[in-house]
Structure 1
């Protein structure tokens, strides 16, 4: 310690109040020596000469450690909401690989956690709808979908295809079989029916470009209704976080597809509509099942190839006096009978019904819509109402897409989106033609009525009818005036065309 600056005395003491040094001999206050150097970093003050933590609050965590701690809490919270607590290690390891052990904070990190949870469940072939993840993460399905794509691309993963058949099987066991509403044998038959119809929907492109869960809900509700099992579409859709309106739209498409099959193949198909399809559904499904099995035979013979054989069989039966000759036709082989998939009981029913109609045709001609309890329908002999479903078709089992497309179920449908696009394109062509007529009328009012393509203009001018125009008509007129090709206008990308040809120089 240096001596007093006034008397050179070494008898110095520290004032308890100010902390300054004072000389006891002369009382002179010495120079200030109590200055403490304070150091700072990104976490706040680090202390005097010695680092003691963040802002002296008593915690020993650095910024990085606190960030990791908070990020793991976010992971735990989201996974607990999704019921995936046991998947924490898998999701945590995936996030470590993606962020290089840095984790993160903010809304984007929550989306990342949800995407990793979805990828983990898809790898395990488990059900986790994107909508459920969105509700718990707090984002829309498009943002989550983009994040899932980035995760899969970054980690170079190959996710299995969405198992729509497996989804139906799990939902059916949970909502129908699990509640004990039906027996084991009926449950097995209903599952096969649902799988059969689902794969028919895939063949008819009903699932193409659509979310698969509403299609599964629609088929499940239809199968339960067909077999007399009560189930609520609203409850099922709410549990799976899908829109009820979308499920109802898919349900109508299922009914319409079966109606198309009936009208294309059944003798009374013109009488079948959406309102009475449930009465005809057993016959339609049986026809579809038999057709798919005949088409899959190694000999390549379809159901249509057996029509002549069926007529021959009935004729031979009618020529026999003894009814027991139904199963003793010498002109037939056992393979032919097996290919027809008709039981002896059905043959007996065919014979009895045919003889009845032969003697009294007018009394047996009844429309499908006039069916009442206790009455006999004209075509009841085509199906055994108690056992109309055998479940032997390959479509009752899970098949690959190429195998599904090879099957014939009595209807070759086009994708609904493609058909809607064709209708819209046709309407745009009509609007373009009408717009050209209006433009030509303004440019050359005297000669427009003389051209052959402008008969529509002459007809409207004579009747003096008011023309209703909408925004699309005005947009088409604007694009035509800017020399945009009609082929481009027919595609319907109006905003893009307006930016390129109309507003480009503004």
Structure 2
């Protein structure tokens, strides 16, 4: 019951016959909140006075869908703007999402991932660069989760073939990183252009050496960028470049090491190649890259009898000039060094034009001649140092072996590898090294290592099960030890030094697992199938049997 009028506190309240509301007869105020009817019958029950099903308002089904679509399109515009897409590309993303969701769009944690995947696919279809790691960092999701969504979008849209869905352009990624990196703001345009050509050359060499096969391309981009910057005297840290390309620092360091190891392998063909190691390969990199560049420019000759430096039109005048200097200390002022290479200069009117590439082969020095000159140079240097003594104070420590100075004009930039080539064209080029994929090489080593472990495990099992037999295979040199390469050092591992892997192999052998299956290394799967499958344990024969 009502307690009275809310305005004058009068008890004279009457109900209006038309509206059904209570009205105060004293002041005429309509009493609020008096006409509420509880909805006890669901949608088909009695209806209230002010709220009716199907009336216009913010709670209708039609406005809910419009609000959801509006919010989804606003989110698409915000994310595409953060990624850096234009308005036309943003509309393409909206159209793709509308096609996938049948104009329903969506909301929730999965919808931003779908937007990032569609943005990545739209850019790839247009052959524009957009790293998936950058998209994942902007959206704030895991790169693997975004990759799975990209695969689902590609499968739904049935994008097959390089025409509809081109491959990732690692050359364009390198160019974009160099141009957008703040590390090269103060560097001159000419030097940046030279670094771009050198980087493209090394990246396509890395593609030929399978350093990008089955791997993320951005760590290779970071490794090449750091090496090129170091060769051109630009101070760049690999940690900073890794953050810019959204790559893991440890992976970038590993790719950098693999790139240097490949350069060391290429340098072995040079006369001083045995002195080139992983520690000094950066100082020798100008000569190595010059050799690789000239090697790639060489036309293939089927009847070539010689291999190595003498079969390539490599201009070794700077190398020989540096070898013939009296002082071999790295980084000494060039003006204060006596140069004997003037006696080996070729006159312009002698009929051998030094600027012509066609006549380079006639000017090549044989490998034996270079080795003889190198030996005489070392002998002369050691004799000169013994005579001079310690008269001149050196600012740097004397290094062992031969460390040549970098040539001033070691980069030519006329090779076809300085431009973007197709994979088939890259593989046809010769840069002085034909390498196998590192993953394949490591897989072969692991396969060989597991085979040795299986043989050693079989020998131990047979020795326990049949101790009285004298015809057992002796361990000998085959099973006594094995080389274990942990990436940093090599150590000898004897048969009696067993670890968890040896115990697993012995268990699988006792359960009758085929050796070929064990050699593949899928231990967890084999244990689930043969060891922990229903608790079935085979009977081990006794010693009497």
> Which TM bucket (shorter chain)?
0.7 to 0.9
Q: In the alignment, does 2:207 pair up with 1:202?
A: yes
Q: In the alignment, does 2:513 pair up with 1:492?
A: no
CA distance in 1, matches of 2:344, 2:254: 50
Question: CA separation of 1:234/1:187 partners in 2, compared to 1, >3 Å: closer, same or farther?
Answer: same
Match in the other structure for 1:160: 166
CA distance in 2, matches of 1:88, 1:307: 57
Q: In the alignment, does 2:507 pair up with 1:478?
A: yes
Q: In the alignment, does 2:72 pair up with 1:71?
A: yes
Q: In the alignment, does 2:15 pair up with 1:15?
A: yes
Answer yes or no: is the 8 Å Cα contact 1:39–1:49 preserved in 2: no
After TM superposition, the structure 1 = structure 2 runs for residues 463-474 of structure 1, keeping only pairs within 5 Å, are: 467-474=496-503
Question: CA separation of 1:354/1:161 partners in 2, compared to 1, >3 Å: closer, same or farther?
Answer: closer
Match in the other structure for 1:113: 115
Displacement, 1:169?
A: 1.3
Match in the other structure for 2:176: 170
Match in the other structure for 2:424: 402
CA distance in 1, matches of 2:460, 2:477: 10
The farther-off stretch of 356-365 and 95-104 is 356-365
Answer yes or no: is the 8 Å Cα contact 2:312–2:361 preserved in 1: no
Alignment partner of 1:390 out of 412, 428, 436:
412
Deviations 1:184-230 (CA, angstroms, capped at 9, x unpaired): 33222221111111111001000111100110011011001011012
Match in the other structure for 1:8: none
What is the number of equivalent residue pairs in this alignment? 449
After TM superposition, the structure 1 = structure 2 runs for residues 340-419 of structure 1, keeping only pairs within 5 Å, are: 340=360, 362-364=379-381, 385-419=407-441
Displacement, 1:437?
A: 1.3
CA distance in 1, matches of 2:282, 2:191: 18
Question: CA separation of 1:393/1:301 partners in 2, compared to 1, >3 Å: closer, same or farther?
Answer: farther
Q: RMSD across aligned C-alpha pairs, in angstroms?
A: 4.4
TM-score after normalising by structure 1: 0.76
CA distance in 2, matches of 1:446, 1:414: 47
Answer yes or no: is the 8 Å Cα contact 1:53–1:60 preserved in 2: no
After TM superposition, the structure 1 = structure 2 runs for residues 210-249 of structure 1, keeping only pairs within 5 Å, are: 210-249=215-254
Give SS of 1:304's match. Answer: coil
Alignment partner of 1:280 out of 281, 284, 292:
284
Displacement, 1:19?
A: 4.2
Deviations 1:56-83 (CA, angstroms, capped at 9, x unpaired): x678953322322332233234334333
Q: In the alignment, does 2:183 pair up with 1:180?
A: no
| Higher percent of residues as helix | 1
After TM superposition, the structure 1 = structure 2 runs for residues 55-66 of structure 1, keeping only pairs within 5 Å, are: 62-66=63-67
Displacement, 1:475?
A: 1.4
Displacement, 1:355?
A: 11
Answer yes or no: is the 8 Å Cα contact 2:272–2:402 preserved in 1: no
Question: CA separation of 1:308/1:40 partners in 2, compared to 1, >3 Å: closer, same or farther?
Answer: closer
Displacement, 1:139?
A: 2.9
Q: In the alignment, does 2:54 pair up with 1:51?
A: yes
Deviations 1:152-179 (CA, angstroms, capped at 9, x unpaired): 2222332211111111112112227961
Deviations 1:390-411 (CA, angstroms, capped at 9, x unpaired): 1111111111111111111111
Where structure 2 has 5 or more consecutive residues not aligned to the other structure, the ranges are 1-12, 23-34, 318-342, 384-393, 482-493, 536-545
Displacement, 1:342?
A: 8.9
CA distance in 2, matches of 1:46, 1:196: 79
